[in-house]
Structure formats: structure tokens, C-alpha cells
Amino acid sequence: MDTFIHLASWLCLLLGCCFCMIGGVGLLRLPDFYSRIHGGGVTDTLGAGLVITGLMLQGGLTLTTAKLAMILLFLLLTSPVATHAIARAAQHSGLKPQVADDAA
């Protein structure tokens, strides 16, 4: 059982790191602003979420895990809202999303 939890936790941590990297690559490589914040969003939710889940599995049933759970809830609620706010502000300031025709 212990080994299983360890394995699950490391899987979560590594997957989370992977998603963080994917988000970072996306931020740098994607063509326009709106697709870039989509890349950043991966880091905030999936990346951080999986890392924290992995840490919770490491912590076991302790106060630390409870705190981590609160941080996770907080992140899951705030990060998409922040991304939404940035996108909204960009749209309001007149930035047009790039569509398939422009890219060619």
C-alpha cells in the first residue's frame, strides 16, 4: 500500500512537472496572445494541481495535507479567473485573435 501511494505520488509530481514544462513551451512558442494564455493556463491548473496532489499523497492524513488541499482549491478557483481577466482585458483593448486565414 505504501509503495502504491509512493508510486502514485511520484507519478502525479512528474506529470505535474511535465504539464508545467508544456505550459512554458506553449507560452513561448504559440503564435498569438490568446493561444499563449491558453498555454499558461495549463501550468496554473493541471501543472500546479498535479504537483500539489502528489505532495498531498506524500503528506498522508495530516494538517499539511489539509492546508495543501485548501491551496489546491484556491488555485483551481483563482487561476482560471486570472486567465479569464487577462483575456478579457486584451479583448477589450482591441486585440483580435489570430484565425486560421491570417496564419497562412
Partner 1 sequence: MSNFISDISLQIDLVDIVLLTILVVVAVAVIRVRDLFEAVVLLGIFSLLSACIFTTLDAVDVAFTEAAVGAGISTVLFLATLTLTARKEKAQYSHSWSGFIVCTLTGGALIYGTLDMPHFGDPDAPIHQHVAPRYIVDSPEEIGVPNMVTSVLASYRGYDTLGETTVIFTAGLTVLLLLRRDRRSRDRSASPPTAETTDRRGSHVMRHAMVLRVMSKLFIPLILLFALYVQFHGDFGPGGGFQAGVIFAAAFVLYALIYGVEAAQRVAPPARVQVFVALGLLLYIGTGLASLFAGGNFLEYKVLAHEASHGEHIGILFIELGVGITVAAAIINTFFYFAGRGRA
Residue ranges binding partner 1 (CB under 8 A): 77-78, 81, 84-85, 88-89, 92
Phi, psi (deg, nearest 5) at residue 11: -60, -45
Minimal distance, residue 76 CB to partner 1, in Å: 12
Can you tell me whether residue 95 is helix, strand or coil?
Answer: coil
Minimal distance, residue 29 CB to partner 1, in Å: 19
Distances (CA, A) of 78 to 45, 46, 53, 71, 84: 9, 13, 17, 10, 10
Minimal distance, residue 77 CB to partner 1, in Å: 7
Q: Judged by CB, which is closer to partner 1: 28, or 81?
A: 81
Query: Who's near 18: CB < 8 A, 6+ residues apart?
Result: none
Minimal distance, residue 101 CB to partner 1, in Å: 28
Distance, CA of 48 to CA of 89 (rounded, Å): 24
Q: Judged by CB, which is closer to partner 1: 29, or 84?
A: 84
Q: Judged by CB, which is closer to partner 1: 28, or 77?
A: 77
Q: Judged by CB, which is closer to partner 1: 96, or 102?
A: 96
